[in-house]
Amino acid sequence: MTAIYVDVTQPLQWGPLPPVGIPRVENAIVRQAMRQDQVPVTLFLVERSGRGRLLSSSERRYLSDMLENRLPIIEGDGEASYWRRLARVLNVIRSGGHMSGREFDRAVAAYVARSERNGTRFELTKALVRAARLTSWGARGRAPVSADPLSDPDVYCFLSKLSMHRIAANRSDAIAASVTAILHDIIPVDQPDYFEASHVDKFRRDLDWMFLNCRKVVGVSEWTACRARAYIDAAEIDNQATICVNPLGSFLREGIAEQGDEPLDGLVDKPFAVYCSTIEARKNHIMLLRVWQKLMPILGGRLPMLVLCGRWGWKVGEVRQFLAAHPEIGQKVVFLTGISDAQLAWLYGNARFGVFPSHVEGWGLGAAECLDFGLPVLISDAEALAEATQRLMPVTPADDFDGWCAAVERASTDDAWLALLRATIAARYRPTSEMAFATRLLSLMQASSGAPVANGAQSTPTGQRGGAAASGGAEIHLRAG
């Protein structure tokens, strides 16, 4: 029987925070790996040194409780005081959050201090949170000693993005296991101007390591797979990796199915449009701000509020300057950070329409989330967004200001058009469940290089330039061997 190992480093490091982007995807993979019982799956993590080890019994229990929503998570709390938010964080740490990593420290410090990850208040809070976490971690005892699954040539391992980063930076021993990894995008090397130079260098190192050492590279979209092949050809990387495609789902709606949604008081009974994404130059928030500024005097009360959900990222100077120069736009634009999944679900369920003007994407999780909730979304001409929305939604070039003004004006005023888009979603959109995505990933791990995989989809070797990658995402059953 095939031995399958699934890396849980990312979920453990992220901890009991509302998952977004890549953490949401990897949480789904691990959750489904723990739930399935057809093929034994062993969980492991990768230390900072790049060495793999098995989980302790307490880590397994904590991971299961966290992913199955049996533990408190750090979200919401509205206008609670600094001390109330800090008390919530300390309670989460005592409940097992001490097993999380440094990203947890940074994220919860920003949550407690209500800051953008800078300033004295943030740094002091981060130090306090880290001290509390490390104190609890020290009381837990030393990590278990185990064999390194990555050194075993007879096993198949799924490796997280975070672990690849650790291995590429620090590991000296060769990888013997058959490794599969997900490729979300190659945007930092395709369009480096959107990122800090240090991030681009590290991303390129990790990407090269992936193609040189992984047996399977699973792209989340046809576009990502296409860009990966182009990068390999241009860089002349000597690799044996097989590139497949496992189209991503969004997973938010099914994740909150039991708990329901949670209204945001300031938006109840108000028309609004929603954009859920990290605030950074690549995501093109500046286009939306300019559109809303132009339409405010034209549409007046018919123009919905613009709700921008996400934490602040890099290269946001243009957005900040625009907001400072046009304070009146605050009448129609709301920035939300740190909201819960239940609150995000409410936004999708109650918005008039969604917007996603990003310049480039590897998939476009927020656009897919809109359709999962039956919400029409105006998208840019980034190819991956068309895939994520199954080519059902209106497209406007990312830099077409007049086009975006026209699209937003129509979505704001034309009820019949929006009703038609909603009907199109209901009739033609086919969501991908997290079980279907994770199960297919585990099946792809076991498939022989270049051999057909379930449901007639094909794995495409990187040497086949321009060939079509696998695109099926239907649910399948795991088979051993």
CATH at 332: 3.40.50.2000
DSSP bridge pairs for 308: 275, 335
Spatial distance between the Cα atoms of 41 and 389, rounded to a whole number of angstroms = 32
Contact assessment for residue 433 and residue 475, using Cβ atoms and an 8 Å cutoff: yes
CA atoms of 423 and 104, how far apart (whole Å): 41
Specify whether the CB–CB gap between 90 and 135 falls below 8 A.
no
Distances 69 to 16, 64, 215 between C-alpha atoms, Å: 9, 8, 33
Who's near 148: CB < 8 A, 6+ residues apart?
A: 51, 52, 53, 173
Kind plus residue range of the DSSP H or E element containing 429: none
Is residue 250 in some structural domain? Answer: no
* Of residues 167, 244, 220, 213, the one with CA closest to residue 25: 220
DSSP collapsed to 3 states, 73-142: CCCCCCCCCHHHHHHHHHHHHHCCHHHCCHHHHHHHHHHHHCCCCCCHHHHHHHHHHHHHHHHHHHHHCC
- Asked if the structure places residue 329 within a domain, the reply is yes
pLDDT of residue 217: 95
Amino acid identity of residue 178, one-letter, is S
- How far apart are the C-alpha atoms of 125 and 148, rounded to whole Å? 36
Each residue's pLDDT tens digit in the chain (481 positions)?
A: 568 999 999 998 888 877 788 888 999 999 999 987 777 899 999 999 999 999 988 889 889 988 888 877 776 665 678 888 888 888 888 877 777 877 788 888 887 887 667 788 888 888 888 888 888 766 555 567 789 999 999 999 999 999 999 999 999 999 999 999 999 999 999 999 999 999 999 999 999 999 999 999 999 999 999 999 999 989 888 777 899 999 998 888 887 877 778 899 899 999 999 999 999 999 999 999 999 999 999 999 999 999 999 988 889 999 999 999 999 999 999 999 878 888 999 999 999 999 999 999 999 999 999 999 999 999 999 999 999 999 999 999 999 999 999 999 999 999 999 999 999 999 999 999 988 998 899 889 887 433 333 333 333 333 333 333 333 332 223 322 2
Residues sharing a CB contact under 8 Å with residue 161, sequence separation 6 or more, in sequence order: 10, 22, 26, 181, 182, 184, 206
238 domain-assigned: no
Q: What is the 3-state secondary structure (H, E, C) of 189-228?
A: HHCHHHCCHHHHHHHHHHHHHHHHHCCEEEECCHHHHHHH
Does residue 294 belong to any structural domain of this protein?
yes
Mapped onto helix, strand or coil, the DSSP state of residue 308 is: strand
In a domain, 237, yes or no: no
Structural domain includes residue 290: yes
Number of Cβ atoms within 10 Å of the Cβ of 30: 25
- Six-digit token pair at 364? 């476009």
Question: Which residue range forms the structural domain that includes residue 290?
Answer: 259-428
Report the alpha-carbon distance of residue 239 to residue 406 in Å, rounded: 47
- pTM value is 0.86
Q: What's the start-to-end Cα distance of the chain, in Å?
A: 5
CA distances from 6 to 38, 163, 215, 336, 404 (A): 15, 11, 15, 34, 43
Count structural domains, the chain: 1
Residue of 446, 403, 57 lying closest to 411 (CA atoms): 403
Burial classification of residue 84, based on how many CB atoms lie within 10 Å of its CB (0-12 exposed, 13-18 middle, 19 or more buried): exposed
What are phi and psi for residue 473, nearest 5 degrees? -135, 20
> For residue 74, is it within any domain?
no
The confidence score (pLDDT) of residue 105 equals 84
CA-CA distances (angstroms) from residue 353 to 29, 263, 298, 306, 375? 29, 17, 19, 10, 6
CA within 13 Å, CB half, 150: 25
CA distance 388 to 25: 14
Q: How much helix, strand and coil, in percent to the nearest 5, is found in the chain?
A: 50, 15, 35
The β-bridge relationship of strands 41-46 and 52-54 is: antiparallel
